[in-house]
Each structure stands twice: as C-alpha cells, then as structure tokens.
Structure 1
C-alpha cells in the first residue's frame, strides 16, 4: 500500500487466501487453520498461532466473505513431559494421549481440558472466534480411517518424500516439540502410523507389520504387550506429525495456516507437508506465513512444556484486550515480539494511547488506522473499552499510593479530570483494574511507594537556606496550582522563581540541575528515597494538607 510505513501484512495475506480459494474453484470454502497441543500452559507464544490466522480471517470477513477459522486441538498427542510446577507423579502418564491423562488439579475431565479452558476464556475476551476440532474425537470416531488406510498403503511413497528431506534425528525431535516425531527408518520398515498400546495406553510401540487386504496392523510395546487390530474397523492410534498435518489440510480444505519458525525452515514440516498433500492426499498446501518467537523481557523462547511462561490470561490481567490484540497485529509475523511485564508496560500503554490520539485527530497513516481498527474489535463485535482514558502510569501511581482504596482513588482521579470530572471508578475501568493488578503482581516490594507517616525531622533540620526557600515556594503555591498541569508547572518553576524568573521561563543547564536537586529532596522527604512516582501525581495523591505536614520545617 502506497504511503504506508510498513506493508499491511494482513491485507496481503487475505488477498493471497482469497486468490487461493478462487484458484481451487468457485465453491471452495475459505478456511484459516490453527493447531495447538494442550500439553501444558498455553502461553503467549502459542497465542501467535491463533492471532495470525485470526487477523487474516477477520480481514476476509470485513470484506463480506465467509471464512472459517478452525482451531485443531492436538489433544490426541502424547504427553511428552510434565511441566515445571505440576506433580512429578504424572510422569507415569508420559506417552499417553493428553485426553487420557487426568487433570492435575482434579477439576476437569482431562489434562488437555485443564489447559484448554483458560485459553478459551482468553480468546473470548480477545474477540477471537474459532471452530474447535478435537483430534481425539476425530481419530477415535473413525473420521480419518480412510485417510489412515491410504497413508499406510502409500507408506513407501511417503517414505520416499521424507527421504528427500530427512535430517538428523536430533533436529527432527527438536522440531516436533508441538507434535510427535516421525519414524526415521526407511523402506519396508517405515510406517506413518503410531498405535497407542491397548495394555498401557502409551505410544511406546513399534509397528511390525501391516496387511493391506485385511488392514490388520501388528505392533509390540516397550511394556511387553504385543497386539494387533484391523485399521479398517478399529481406531487406536494416529498418523505421525509430518503426515498428519498435510492429511488435515486436505480433509479440512485449509486455505491458510501459519506456523512457527520450527516448522517453516527449508526441509521442515511445511516443506515436507506441501509435497505430501499433493502427492499422497490429492490436495493443495495452504497459503502460509511463518511467524517468529514471542518472548518476555529477560527470558528466552517460551515453552509450555517447560512451564512458567506467561499465558494470555496472565497478560490480560495487565493489558486491556484491544492493547494485547495490537501487540500482535502491529508486527509482521516474521518479526519477533517481546511482551514486557515490568516498567515497560507504562511505555506500551503510552504508545497505544498516542496511536489512539493520532487516529482521532486524523493524523494517523493508513497502517496505524488499520491496525487500531483490528485491535479495538473484530468484524463481528467491538471490544469493551475504558470510558475515560487516563495514562496507565498515572493510574498505577495512584493505586500504588492509595493501596487501592476506592474513595481515595476516586478523590485523586477527580483532581486529574477537572474538565470532565470522573463520576465513578467504573469510568476508569477496565484500565484501572489492570493497573491495580500490575502494581500488586509485578512491581517489586522495594519499588512500591511507601509514603512517610511522619515528617523526616532529621533531614528537615538540615535544610539549607536555598532548600528552605524552595519548599516554602512550593507549599505556598499549592492552592493556586492545584491541578496536574499546575503542579507540574510549579514543581519545575520553583528553581526559576528562586532565580528571579517567571514560571514559564526556559530552563538553562543550571536550572535543570536545581530542578533535579529539588525533586530528589522532595522524594526523600515524602517517600524516604531519592526516586518514586511522578511528583505531580504523587502530590495530587497526597493532598495539600498532608504535603504541608510532611514538608513543614517550622
């Protein structure tokens, strides 16, 4: 798009998906697909697997076209390992389908459902609409039986395709983190299907034979059990990952999918799948975008199986839903995203608010307008928004100082909104609640604001004449300048008044040094350290009477 700072990747991807649909035929549905294995907490990295196809499907719907976004739950995958923080005793279930492992908290029907439920709630809050598909249900119902038999009868052709791209076992296993690894053996011993053992329920099995006429498969398990069943009549396993993925493309008619860098490099799952869907399953590979990692400040790549990674629910406690959508929409998929839960949250909100002001003033470019429109709602509904937007850093400072006391918070915020006084705290929500959650959960105790309860007599007795004059000018000017802009002007202006200048005089280097010295003194006298929340905010929060008492040197 001409005049746009960076290419609108959503528009470009939607164009490609629509073109792919037309190429396949006039009645071809438009299907965007995502796939997630609920093997552990579904983190912010997994959310990109959802958001990239969501934005593309949403753009197509905005154009008045039908587009389905399917979320395949890979809940028939094996439990690979027990994430950190969960009972180590669950290691006994490693190798079993995620839907056959009990809920670690005993609240839901299975391990898989335990992790699906909070993720579903987060998607609803984000305005993401998906059609869910349980791979357990698909495999155990026999929905894929014909495709499985076809793959088994075509195993030599599949093995030939895999042989063109076969890599070292170590790399293969690393890539298969979200699915299961393929068998590396070639020729007649290769089988693209992995049974779950009828005795122990695990996939620690090795196929020994397959009879194409009767469809009988025989296998042995590491537990010592040997068994067999007719693939044409029973269901008890699944296709290996690199065969399963293209099979589903053909089955669902997928026209767009995104995948992590693990699956997007040359010779990886998408490359192999593109060959298999054409040569084996008589289908077409979808239009595709690879996406980069999502990280958090100070942390490496997130892993649900490793545990401890922030989830969408965690992020939504401190980021308003439109803002979290914006975090994913504003970056091209091949650009990494870093989500900060520290002081950078303030800057993120500032950037988001600045975009909103530019859009409202008609100063935003096409790209900013498009990204904000995708962030504040979907094609079907707008997301809840804070009625009266106040800077996040202001709200955080206020709830920090008041420790969340509603009456004090409302009093202070009314001083911030003199022109349009806040009628109730509900007008500042949900942002106010996000600020409260951030202060309580992510600001270290040593950084919390502890306002003095009594004046610091020792420091007040040591005031220099210049410091005494500065405090007197400040206290005497409180009533006249009691507003956020007024206090800001007064705080920066006290050293100017001491120099015989007007409040709005430009600050020389010497004046800036004097301003910093005054600020440090005020922090020491008010909160007992040389830094703290923005001083105008702090003064408004404390109230004139308390300020006078704490700064009184008489």
Structure 2
C-alpha cells in the first residue's frame, strides 16, 4: 500500500491533483468529524441525466484517488434539494392538472403524479437512487426536507439569522434593483397554503430565532426559522449546507463558479472553511451550442447507453473535464475503442503508468478483463457490410474469425455486438452513400481482387493488409489515404473506415471478393 501511496502522491491524472488538495487540507490534523466528506447536489424536479452521472462519477474518481493517498475515511453524500418549491409543471409527467394545483409547494409536499410514492419529490428521489445504484456508485442519499424538518439544520439556520446583515451585504449587490427590494435569504413556508414564499422579511429576532412576514392571506405571521418552517434561497442554502455538514469537496459546472464563490463566502461567515472545489466545462451539441435539458439538444443518458457500455461514458467524463467537448452521437464509437485500448494496455504498464490510465479511475484500480478481439469500429463496419438486423448475423462472422469466442464466454464482446447493431441501424445505415469507382480506382480494385484470389486459405490480417498497401502503391494515387478513402466510399458507403486487413479477415476473403465484384459490376 505504501508503494501505491507514494506513486499516487506523484501521479499527474487530474483526480490525483484534486485529491492532493484534500491531503494538504488535512496535513496537520484529520477532520474533527472523523471523515472526509464529498458531496454532489441534485434538483429532483426532473429525472437524473448525463450531468448527474458525470458529477457523481467524477467526484467518485477524486474520492478513490484520495483513498489511495490517505487512511482518513471518506463518505459521499448525494444531496437532494427536495424542499425547493415546484416552479413549473414538467411536460413529461401524467396528471399535470393535479400537479399544477400544488405549484410553489416543496416537492415533498406535491402529490406524486405517478401514484407510486408519497410525493413527487419522493418519486424522483427514488429514481435518483435507482439510477445511482444501477451504476454501482457508493454513496449516502440525503434529503433536504429531512435535514430541515428533523432539526439537523437548526443550528446552521440560527447562525444564518445571526449573520443576516452580513449575508445580505453579500447577496444584494448580485441582484437586480427590483429583486433587491424583496430579497431575503429566508423563504418561509406559508402556514396557510404550504407554499414556499419569496416575500420580504418584515422583522427578525435573532435571540428568539424568528422572522415576521406577510402571508398570502395578508396576515402578518411570525415563524421560527427552525424545524422546517423556512427554506433558504439556493445560494445561501448551498453555503449553509457546506457549513452544517462540514463538506470538504464538491464540484460544479463552469456556469456556477460565481454561485460557488458566494456559497463559499457565506460558509466562511458562518464559521466554517469552505470545501475544496473543482469546476468542469459544460458539454456542447453537434453545432457547438451548450446542451440544455429544455432545448433537448445533444445526447441523453438513455441514448448513450443504447449504443455503448457505461464504461465508455465514464471514460468520456474522465477525459479533459475542463475542456468543452461535443456530446453527440458521433463521439460514441471513439469513446468505446479508446476504452478498449486503455483496458488492453493496463496489465502491461508499469505501476506508475497504471495510475495515469483512465481505467484505474473508472474501476477503482482494478479494471476487469473486458477484452474484445474486435474494435467497436470494426463491428460497425461489419454490421454495415452485412446489413445486420440482429446479433446472430454478426456472430456468424465473428465465430469464423475468433472460433473460441461465443456470446456466453465473451459477454463484453456480445454487448458490443448488440450496441454496434443498434448504432448501425439508427445512424450508419440511413447515412450510407455509395459511389461508383473512377477508372483508376476500378483498375486498383481489379488488382486487389486478383491479389485476394492469390492469397492462401486462412490468410491473416497482416498479410491481407500488405496486399492492400501494395495495390495502393502500385497505382496512381497521390497518397495512400486516397486509396483507402476510395475503398471506404465504394465498398462501405462512407468516408472513413476500418483497417482493411482486419476487416477483410473478419468479413471473409470470399465475401470481400464478392463485394468487390458487385461494386465493379462484374
């Protein structure tokens, strides 16, 4: 363990760089609470999505990196802001009219439109837990409603009340003039209607721990800020939560940097060191626009997992988190093949290099034997040439190429086959555009056909590739790339493609010869 720790302390992968912040934070003494607390937040007015996965996956990577460096115990809280008032009725739920009658109420007091849980908040919290459990994340679920109503936030809320003026001094300059007139960190829950109210605070008594406001029926009401009678505005709530829980690490999107700064300052006003932070870049769609749930642009969680394994998505989240990246369907094949490459390399790498390998971070230092004799791109091209409608067609070719591989003993490969068929049917097949060969290309294809005829039975990929190269060099192509592009466009109906030697071995020399003859019109 000491050897791994020494290597981890020097490792350059970004989760180790982040974890070293925590090592330095507790260099003099461990945390008084006895553990290092990581946190992620979740707004349960909607369903979990790619951003939810990314935040928990990346936070877990930093947590594991810290555990490789330190013996201090760690915990991860996935915190649901389920006491927020429901601002609008989501479009994708049943019984929308019923839910509309409860606008403004805490999500945990809105009836569940699906009829399966005690509240809409409880329903979405259950979806969040099922989502996280499905990926095997280790976390502890925390409910804002539970913390407020159980009294566990009471001391922190009283501290906010005592420091009211200082917190207002931070918040008011960040607001517009009209908003400044009514703003308060405290949002009282109306005793009359149960709604979370954004109203001015008329009086406050720090000694008594109460506030006075005008309720929706016009009456002046005095309420304690404890016991679930109020909810904080989200930025003060964030800082208060960091203080109350003594959060040590939380990451957030680049768009929340100003909010995180305010939350950190509020946390310090309340007397607690703000957590270490990490801001990540946001994802872009295929046109370079920021992905928005309301716009529906970009790629959803369900879509990625229809076409690729979750390990490839975890790799995508690991890579360059501070760089804006396109998150669209065409990034999937490369992500899968890069994952396969990193897994394949891991066992042969020196211990120090393993800590830089993304699969160490994806699989807690122990990547599985998720080997595949075929790349995802090769499988996609096979699906295209074979016009595969199902996995059985694909396995007919694979079994000849790798006789020892079966769906039963190669389950990861079998998963990839299923993903490739789905991706081919949905994206590759509709976009295929074949063209006829030019006279020069026709001559080269006829030469390739003759060379394939002359190969011995059972010729392997390298020998086939040599012949493909030889044809390209023997004919009048300005560069070999033009020859390979011609093969892809004429034979496969696309502008890019696989290593032809490997592909021809997989598809079969006989089948390839028939394909060439078809395209030559012979």
Task: Please report the TM-score for the alignment, with normalisation by the length of structure 2.
Answer: 0.79
The residue number in structure 1 matching 2:322 is 334
The answer on 1:257 being equivalent to 2:250 is yes
Secondary structure of residue in 2 paired with 1:72: strand
Give how far 1:69 is off: 1.2
The residue number in structure 2 matching 1:138 is 147
The residue number in structure 2 matching 1:551 is 517
Give how far 1:325 is off: 2.3
Q: Conserved in 2, the CA contact under 8 Å of 1:78 and 1:95?
A: yes
Give how far 1:135 is off: 0.4
Between the aligned partners of 2:303 and 2:481, the Cα distance in structure 1 is 41
The residue number in structure 2 matching 1:302 is 291
Between the aligned partners of 2:324 and 2:441, the Cα distance in structure 1 is 52
The answer on 1:447 being equivalent to 2:447 is no
Q: Conserved in 2, the CA contact under 8 Å of 1:296 and 1:341?
A: no
Q: Conserved in 1, the CA contact under 8 Å of 2:153 and 2:226?
A: no
Between the aligned partners of 1:520 and 1:336, the Cα distance in structure 2 is 31
The residue number in structure 1 matching 2:364 is 378
Instruction: Tell which deviates more after alignment, 225-234 or 149-158.
Output: 225-234
Q: Conserved in 2, the CA contact under 8 Å of 1:197 and 1:204?
A: yes
Change (3 A) 1:161 1:59: same
Between the aligned partners of 2:276 and 2:442, the Cα distance in structure 1 is 73
Change (3 A) 1:314 1:98: farther
Q: Conserved in 1, the CA contact under 8 Å of 2:394 and 2:417?
A: no
Unaligned residue ranges in structure 1 (runs of 5+): 173-182, 451-455, 500-506
Change (3 A) 1:113 1:436: farther
Deviations 1:364-398 (A, max 9, x none): 973863433112x126xx56553434201122233
Question: Relative contact order, CA 8 A, sep 6+: which one is greater?
Answer: 1
Alignment match of 2:82 (pick from 68, 75, 78) = 75
The residue number in structure 2 matching 1:502 is none
Give how far 1:32 is off: 1.3
Query: How does 1:183-194 map onto structure 2 within 5 Å?
Result: 184-185=180-181, 191-194=184-187
The answer on 1:101 being equivalent to 2:91 is no
Deviations 1:44-75 (A, max 9, x none): 23434323332221122234431111111111
Between the aligned partners of 2:275 and 2:259, the Cα distance in structure 1 is 13
Q: Conserved in 2, the CA contact under 8 Å of 1:70 and 1:132?
A: yes
Q: Conserved in 1, the CA contact under 8 Å of 2:210 and 2:224?
A: yes
The residue number in structure 2 matching 1:33 is 39
The residue number in structure 1 matching 2:309 is 320
The answer on 1:509 being equivalent to 2:477 is yes
The answer on 1:58 being equivalent to 2:26 is no
Query: How does 1:35-50 map onto structure 2 within 5 Å?
Result: 35-50=41-56
Secondary structure of residue in 2 paired with 1:184: helix
Runs in 1 of length 4+ with deviation above 6 angstroms?
Answer: 462-465
Deviations 1:157-200 (A, max 9, x none): 3223435xx22439x9xxxxxxxxxx634xxx764210233444
Q: Conserved in 2, the CA contact under 8 Å of 1:83 and 1:304?
A: no
Change (3 A) 1:440 1:169: farther
Secondary structure of residue in 2 paired with 1:259: strand
Alignment match of 2:457 (pick from 471, 477, 480) = 480
Change (3 A) 1:391 1:147: same
Change (3 A) 1:349 1:219: same
Give how far 1:205 is off: 4.0
Secondary structure of residue in 1 paired with 2:67: helix
Q: Conserved in 2, the CA contact under 8 Å of 1:387 and 1:429?
A: no
Change (3 A) 1:444 1:514: closer
Give how far 1:467 is off: 7.7
Secondary structure of residue in 1 paired with 2:307: coil
